[in-house]
Amino acid sequence: GAGVSQSPSNKVTEKGKDVELRCDPISGHTALYWYRQSLGQGLEFLIYFQGNSAPDKSGLPSDRFSAERTGGSVSTLTIQRTQQEDSAVYLCASRAGGVREQYFGPGTRLTVT
Amino acid sequence: SQQGEEDPQALSIQEGENATMNCSYKTSINNLQWYRQNSGRGLVHLILIRSNEREKHSGRLRVTLDTSKKSSSLLITASRAADTASYFCATDAAGGYNKLIFGAGTRLAVHP
C-alpha cells in the first residue's frame, strides 16, 4: 500500500503568517508522530498521537505550534505567527500497533522569510 | 533535546570498504533503531535492536548494542556508492510512547 504522504513538499512563507502542514499516515496505523529537522541536525520530536488524542505534546517548542488528528487518520500541524527559526523540514511518521518501527513521510520543507 | 551523539559526524570511504558508525545515548531504552536519510528528506528504517540483544544482522548491516556503556555501532560491509546517505541512531526510551530520540547523524560518502 501507499506510504506516508505529506503536503506541501515545500512551503515558503513570510514571517508572521500562519501555516498548515498535512500528514496522511499509512492506512491502519494508529500511532502518528511529528518531528522537526533543522538544517544539518538530527530530528527533534514534536508530538505523538494515538488515535485522535495526543498523550505526548512535550516537544512542541511554543504555544504557536498546535496539531490535531481527525478520524484516526490525517493530521495537521499548524504554526501560527511563523518566525525565521521555524524554518526546518517537518517530518511525519506513523506506526502500526504492536510494532516499533516508524515509517516516515518525505517531509515538508518550511522556509520562513 | 538530543538523546545521543554519533561519531564520526562525517565519514568518507571507497567502495568495497567497511563503514562503522557509533552512537551513544543517555537514558534507559526499550530498543535502538538505525535510520538512513537521503538528500535531507524522508527516513528509511534499517534495523532495530532490542535492549536485551547484543548483536543483530540484516544483509550487509551489523548492529551491536552495549547497554552497560549506553552505546551502539552500525557496520556496513562492502559499501556501495548507493550507501551514500546520512545515518541516524534513534532510541525508543522506556515509558516514552515509542517516540524516537535521534542522534545528530553521520554523513557517509562512498566513492566509486
pLDDT tens across B14-23, in order?
Answer: 999 999 999 9
Contact A90, A34 (CB under 8 A): yes
Whole-angstrom distance, CA of residue B73 vs CA of residue B22: 4
Contact A24, A4 (CB under 8 A): yes
Nearest CA to CA, how far is B22 from chain A (Å)?
A: 15
- Substitution target in B99, B100, B101 with the highest count of A β-carbons within 10 Å is B99
Percentage of chain B with pLDDT > 90? 72
Q: How would you write the pLDDT of chain A (113 residues) with one tens digit per residue?
A: 589 999 999 999 999 999 999 999 999 999 999 999 998 777 899 999 999 998 899 999 999 999 999 888 999 999 999 999 999 999 999 999 888 899 999 999 999 99
Q: Which three cell numbers stand for residue A21?
A: 502542514
What are the phi and psi torsion angles at A18 (to 5°)?
A: -95, 150
Distance of CA B93 to the CA centre of its chain: 16
Contacts of A101 in chain B (CB under 8 A): 33, 45, 48
What are the phi and psi torsion angles at A84 (to 5°)?
A: -60, -30
* Contact across the interface for B42 and A105, Cβ inside 8 Å: yes
Give the nearest partner residue to A41 out of B48, B92, B104, using CB atoms: B104
Give the nearest partner residue to B99 out of A56, A101, A107, using CB atoms: A56
Q: Searching chain B, which residue's CA lies closest to the CA of residue A32?
A: B99
Contact B66, B53 (CB under 8 A): no
- Classify the C-alpha dihedral A54-A41-B93-B49 as positive or negative: positive
Q: Which three cell numbers stand for residue A12?
A: 515558503
Q: Searching chain B, which residue's CA lies closest to the CA of residue A102?
A: B45
Would an 8 Å CB–CB cutoff place A102 in contact with chain B?
Answer: yes
* Contact across the interface for B43 and A43, Cβ inside 8 Å: yes
A65-69, strands of its sheet edge to edge: A5-7, A19-24, A75-79, A65-69
Q: Is the pLDDT of residue B2 over 50?
A: no
Contact A48, A32 (CB under 8 A): yes
Whole-angstrom distance, CA of residue A92 vs CA of residue A102: 9
Burial class (CB in 10 A: 0-12, 13-18, 19+), B102: buried
Residue type, A96: A
Q: What pLDDT does A42 receive?
A: 79
Contacts of B105 in chain A (CB under 8 A): 42
Q: Searching chain A, which residue's CA lies closest to the CA of residue B10?
A: A40
Q: Which three cell numbers stand for residue B51?
A: 535492549
Whole-angstrom distance, CA of residue B21 vs CA of residue B26: 17
Distance of CA A84 to the CA centre of its chain: 18
Element (H, E) at A103: strand A103-104
In 3D, which of B20, B21, B27 has the Cα closest to residue B3? B27
